[in-house]
């Protein structure tokens, strides 16, 4: 059987769902960020697969911009994690509750 | 080709599952590097070698190193209780399962579509995908390209301000 675009999209969906589950259930800030990266990568895979299927290049250009955003996000996350750790002594996001009523 | 696709998908899905299930964040970071490499394999199967190289350089190289650096700086050995409470686990699994089902239904419902573009694999291989991407970046997408550079500048300044005492 031949591999078509749907198979790539199904793999991308599985990885995206795993990433979303990680964001929902984990407490650790670093692991949540890694799950976000998984979701970014699943979106990238979908873009490239559809772009190859439709013989377009726009999806591949989008992937490059998504990589730029992910890199910027990684740098910001490092700063936030250090500031949060300095404040609280942990990176458990359940401790980020200053806005609690 | 089919065998490679299945190998890459098994590695990618397995490592993604390990990322969200192992306790130690450093192990998670190592598993996500494995996932990035498997996805780079997908890009090569899809005839996008430049993106595969970028995937390995930017994700597995830069971002994963930043994560490992953050883990080193933060001394995470003390964090315990990796997963939130039971209700959140159940609700998360059900919500994500529904999301998966909905997207699969959506993919199944989408019918065949005719290719609309001109960039077939033969043309991409003849010109070279790096050259095509470069031409797009500096002609049609030059404004987003400049905005992306400003975004990176903002990220550098923001990271400095956050991390500064």
Is B163 within 8 Å of A1 when comparing Cβ atoms? no
B49 in A contact zone (CB under 8 Å)? no
Is residue A30 within 8 A of residue B76, CB to CB? The reply is yes
Q: What is the pLDDT of residues B85-130, one digit of tens each?
A: 788 889 999 999 999 999 999 988 887 778 787 777 788 888 888 8
CA distance B56 to chain A (A): 11
**Cross-chain Cβ contact A30/B25 below 8 Å:** yes
Answer yes or no: are the C-beta atoms of B29 and B59 closer than 8 Å: no
Report domain extents, chain A: 5-95
Is the minimum CB–CB distance between B4 and chain A shorter than 8 Å? no
Q: Which of B2, B45, B159 sits opposite A75 (nearest CB)?
A: B159
CATH number of A5-95: 1.10.287.3510
Q: Give the least confident one: B25-29, B69-73, B96-100.
A: B69-73
| pLDDT over 60 at B78, yes or no | no
Q: How far, rounded to the nearest angstrom, does the alpha carbon of residue B10 sit from its chain's CA centroid?
A: 16
Interface check A87 vs B, CB under 8 A: no
What ipTM describes this predicted complex?
Answer: 0.89
SS3 B1: coil
What digits encode the pLDDT tens for the residues A61-87? 999 999 999 989 888 888 888 888 888
Shortest Cα–Cα distance, B152 to chain A (Å): 6
Contacts of A84 in chain B (CB under 8 A): none
Which candidate from A2, A27, A56 shows the least CB-CB separation from B83? A27
Coil, helix or strand at residue B102: helix
Looking at the complex, does the CB of residue A50 fall below 8 Å from at least one CB of chain B?
A: no
Q: Model confidence at B74, in pLDDT bands (50, 70, 90)?
A: confident
Residue B52 has a pLDDT of: 92
Does B3 have pLDDT greater than 80?
yes
Task: Report the residue of B155, B156, B158, B160 to disrupt the A interface, i.e. the one with the largest count of A CBs within 10 Å.
Answer: B155
A28-45 CB burial, b ≥16 within 10 A, e <16: bbbbbbbbbbbbbbbbbb
Q: Residues 90-109, chain B: which have Cβ within 8 Å of A?
A: 91-93, 95-97, 99-100, 103-104, 107-108
Contact B19 A18 (CB under 8 A): yes
Local structure of B83: helix, strand or coil: strand
Confidence of residue A1 (pLDDT cuts 50, 70, 90): low
Is the CB of residue A23 less than 8 Å from the CB of residue A32? yes
Task: Please provide the DSSP assignment of A17-80 as one string.
Answer: HHHHHHHHHB-BHHHHHHHHHHHHHHHHHHHHHHHHHTT-SHHHHHHHHHHHHHHHHHHHHHHH
Name the closest residue on chain A to residue B83, using Cα atoms: A26
């Amino acid at each position: 059987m031949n591999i078509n675009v749907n198979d790539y999209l199904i793999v991308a969906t599985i990885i995206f769902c795993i990433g979303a589950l990680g964001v929902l259930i984990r407490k650790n800030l670093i692991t949540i960020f890694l799950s976000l990266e998984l979701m970014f990568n699943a979106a990238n895979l979908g873009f490239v697969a559809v772009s190859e299927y439709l013989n377009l290049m726009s999806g591949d250009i989008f992937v490059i911009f998504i990589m730029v955003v992910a890199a910027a996000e990684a740098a910001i996350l490092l700063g936030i994690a250090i500031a949060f750790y300095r404040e609280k002594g942990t990176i458990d996001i359940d401790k980020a509750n200053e806005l609690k009523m | 080709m089919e065998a490679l696709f299945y190998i890459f998908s098994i590695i990618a899905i397995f490592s993604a599952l390990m990322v969200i299930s192992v306790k130690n964040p450093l192990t998670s970071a190592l598993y996500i590097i494995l996932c990035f490499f498997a996805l780079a394999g997908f890009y090569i199967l899809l005839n996008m070698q430049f993106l595969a190289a970028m995937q390995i350089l930017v994700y597995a190289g830069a971002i994963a190193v930043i994560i490992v650096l953050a883990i080193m700086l933060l001394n995470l050995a003390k964090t315990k209780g990796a997963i939130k409470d039971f209700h959140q686990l159940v609700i998360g699994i059900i919500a994500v399962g529904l999301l998966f089902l909905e997207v699969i239904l959506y993919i199944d419902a989408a019918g065949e579509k005719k290719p609309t573009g001109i960039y077939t694999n033969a043309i991409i291989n003849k010109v070279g995908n790096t050259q095509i991407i470069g031409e797009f970046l500096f002609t049609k997408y030059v404004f987003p390209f400049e905005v992306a550079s400003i975004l990176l500048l903002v990220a550098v300044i923001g990271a400095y301000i956050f991390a500064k005492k």
